[in-house]
Chain A
Amino acid sequence: MGVNLRELVAPVKLELELEQLAGKVIVLDAYNALYQFLATIRQPDGTPLIDALGRVTSHLNGLFYRTVNLLEKGLKVAYVFDGKPPELKAAELERRAKWREEAERKYVEALERGDLEEARLYAQQASRLSSSMVEDAKRLLSLMGVPWVQAPADGEAQAAFMTVRNDAWATASQDYDSLLYGSTRLVRNLTITGRRKLPRKDEYIEVKPELIELDKLLKGYGLSREQLVYVAILIGTDFNPGGVKGIGPKKALKMVKELSTLADIEKIVEWSFPVKPHEIAKVFLEPEVTEDYQLEWRAPDKDGIIEFLCDEHQFSRERVGNALERIEKASKALTKQSTLESWF
């Protein structure tokens, strides 16, 4: 979910090839990635992948093979996990829970009708990420030697903070929120790069990573980061879903430029949300983050991975073995792309 800045970033976003990110530290929003995997890695009727005990493994499948892919291309990936959600987000979380319940009901109905296409769609929307899945994911990353960071609150805020401290080159998520948190660069589509099926259609598209630079975005519109946050608040964030009625990106931009302070904006819009605009602004501008993290990449624990994925969760030994070989090869043969700045 998160704020929808699609229209605003359109003029500044750049399509990239994965290999252009080689050698760069990219911090992925783990929850965002895991939800993507849960939603997309499913059988044609919408049933997720499961092991012999009926436990869902779609998230592990996605996390493992996608991370291997990124490591193979030379990216230095790290993951950030959400901490406790801010209380202010309660309304949105409740809305999502309802949405999932509704989707679950429709999924069953679609299955009964025998409409697999619909069933798959609703199954995706009903994806739930349980705390045991999160623990699985952390365990797998540790075994892979990929660093992960536990955020005190919002993972995207933590990831953004790491770019500001220059410990990471970019954050990666499908959401735009990390830009509001001050992320210097946001890479989208990292977890879905490749050939993708369009929903409800028998069509495929080629998805490439997209780079959005905060500085370029702000300068392009002549905004400060605070003002970008105000624009987001008008359009709608997780704290005020849907935003102010009748205000889209263009109007929001115009208003913020004319009025410039939040107090002025509050005066003229009809605010119908329990959370006040300045409270939302504070979440994005003064988020809770930690300096207590380490980014260290280690060699993968091959036996540990095989035990976890193949013995415990019945992954194909052959496929996992091949993937492990790919990581090993990549880490050995990898030439690291340098940047010209080293010669300035």
Chain B
Amino acid sequence: MSVRFEFQDARDWRYLMESLNAIVDEASFIMDREALKLRALDPSRIAMVDLHVPREAFNTYEIEESQVKIGVNFDDLIKVLRRAKAEDKIIFEIEGRRFRIILAGKAERVFSLPLIDIVGEELPTPKVSFDVIAKMLSDTLRDSLKDAEMISDTVRFVGEENVLRIIAKSDKGELEAKFSPEGGSLIEYDVRHPSAASYSLSYLDDIVSRAYRVSEIVTVEFSTNKPLSLSFEIAGGGTLRYYLAPRLEA
């Protein structure tokens, strides 16, 4: 196979890869003529990541075949990306089994990594309709998750008509963070039905503490006792989206 694509900012790419790494250690990108995609489930099948970057988001985007699979180990890939300097561009090249990553700044540095074969299953999109949709600063969400983590390992999202609450409770105490469009903490807010659901904080924190660097804005979507969706718009185009299964009353 022969593939080449260039992305303007190597650091952005690193943040994106670190965000995928929150869910999986290795996975396959699927590249076709339209977009670069990756969809993967964490080993416990609790969280899923769904990445879609259209060809327009790249400086150049060349692919000979109609579709190729690019299996990578994120640890190895991220190690290389951490070597990127500000203003480096990043170029990925694959020829046959050779996978090259070029960090192009003042100098051009070429790294070669092995491509790995990953037996992946075809994953469907979770079938959920969301009753609460909130758009907020990803940093704000990250902060309140950090607050909640001091209290509990589970956090409850409660969507009421004009207020979104994030609640954590345990023997150690209680936290309630309130967000509203009026107060300015929600950029957009739409509630079809008031809803509430609980989610694992360790997953949420893993995801948000990495993905907040991909985008300043996050869209949070959920329904009562259904999965949570977190979407981050990628600079230059594309979406990084996560699904997280709820914790249910036993």
Verify B44–A343 contact, CB threshold 8 A.
Answer: no
Stretch from B82-90, B94-102, B121-129, B188-196 contacting the other chain: B121-129
Verify B44–A16 contact, CB threshold 8 A.
Answer: yes
For the complex, is A202 an interface residue (Cβ under 8 Å from B)?
A: no
Looking at the assembled complex, report how far the CB atom of A211 sits from the nearest CB atom of chain B, in whole angstroms. 6
Verify B245–A337 contact, CB threshold 8 A.
Answer: yes
| Alpha-carbon distance between A14 and B245 when the two chains are bound, in angstroms | 20
**Which B residues touch A336, using CB under 8 A?**
247-250
| Alpha-carbon distance between A24 and B44 when the two chains are bound, in angstroms | 10
Partner of B43, one of A211, A219, A341: A211
| Alpha-carbon distance between A334 and B129 when the two chains are bound, in angstroms | 26
Verify B46–A20 contact, CB threshold 8 A.
Answer: yes
User: Which A-chain residue is minimally distant from B246 (CB atoms)?
Assistant: A338
Partner of A341, one of B45, B128, B226, B246: B45
For the complex, is B132 an interface residue (Cβ under 8 Å from A)?
A: no
**Which B residues touch A14, using CB under 8 A?**
25, 43
Task: Report B191-206 CB contacts with A as 1/0, cut-off 8 Å.
Answer: 0000000101010000
Verify A339–B46 contact, CB threshold 8 A.
Answer: yes
Verify B43–A337 contact, CB threshold 8 A.
Answer: no
| Alpha-carbon distance between A331 and B247 when the two chains are bound, in angstroms | 14
CB contacts under 8 Å to B, within A25-70, are none
For the complex, is A335 an interface residue (Cβ under 8 Å from B)?
A: yes
User: Which A-chain residue is minimally distant from B202 (CB atoms)?
Assistant: A17
**Which A residues touch B43, using CB under 8 A?**
14, 16, 211, 213
Looking at the assembled complex, report how far the CB atom of A313 sits from the nearest CB atom of chain B, in whole angstroms. 29
Partner of B47, one of A23, A215, A340: A340
| Interface residues in A, total, Cβ within 8 A | 26
**Which B residues touch A213, using CB under 8 A?**
43
For the complex, is B103 an interface residue (Cβ under 8 Å from A)?
A: no
Verify A343–B227 contact, CB threshold 8 A.
Answer: yes
For the complex, is A322 an interface residue (Cβ under 8 Å from B)?
A: no
For the complex, is B15 an interface residue (Cβ under 8 Å from A)?
A: no
**Which A residues touch B47, using CB under 8 A?**
340
CB contacts under 8 Å to B, within A298-344, are 331, 334-344
Verify B249–A340 contact, CB threshold 8 A.
Answer: no
Verify A337–B126 contact, CB threshold 8 A.
Answer: no
CB contacts under 8 Å to B, within A186-210, are none
For the complex, is A19 an interface residue (Cβ under 8 Å from B)?
A: yes
**Which B residues touch A331, using CB under 8 A?**
250
Partner of A338, one of B25, B48, B128, B245: B245
**Which B residues touch A337, using CB under 8 A?**
44, 46, 200, 245, 247-248
For the complex, is B153 an interface residue (Cβ under 8 Å from A)?
A: yes
Using a CB–CB cutoff of 8 Å, the interface residues on chain B facing chain A are 25, 41, 43-48, 119, 123-124, 126-128, 153-154, 198, 200, 202, 226-227, 243-250
Taking A336-B249, A337-B46, A338-B245 as given, write out 10 further A-B residue pairs in contact, using a Cβ cutoff of 8 Å, ordered by the A residue number: A16-B43, A19-B202, A20-B44, A336-B250, A337-B200, A337-B248, A338-B246, A340-B45, A341-B45, A343-B245
8 closest cross-chain pairs (CB), A and B: A335-B247, A343-B126, A339-B45, A336-B250, A338-B245, A334-B250, A340-B245, A20-B44
